[in-house]
Amino acid sequence: MDLKKFYPQRNPWSHKGNFGYVLIVAGSRIYSGSPVLNALGALRAGADLTMIVSCLRAAD
C-alpha cells in the first residue's frame, strides 16, 4: 500500500504547530521512560511539537 497519497507534501516554510501539537501527561518515579517513548513516537508519526507533563524524576 502506497501511503504517500494519504499524506500531503509538507511545505518547507512551515513552522512548529502547523502539523499538530501533542501533550503527554504520563510517568512516575518508577516508570520514567514511558513519556519519552511516547514523545518520540508522536514526533515520528508527524507531530511538530511534543510537550511532556510529568513528575520531576521523569523529567530528568
Q: Is the pLDDT of residue 56 over 80?
A: no
* 10 within domain boundaries: no
pTM (whole model) above 0.75: no
CA pair distance 10, 52, nearest whole angstrom? 25
* 28 within domain boundaries: yes
* 9 within domain boundaries: no
pLDDT digits (tens, 9 = 90+) for 23-52: 999 888 787 788 889 999 998 888 889 999
DSSP conformational letter for 41: H
Signed CA dihedral, 13, 19, 23, 26: sign only: negative
The predicted pLDDT at position 41 comes to 93
* 51 within domain boundaries: yes
Domain count, the chain: 1
Tell me the residue range of the domain where 27 lies: 19-59
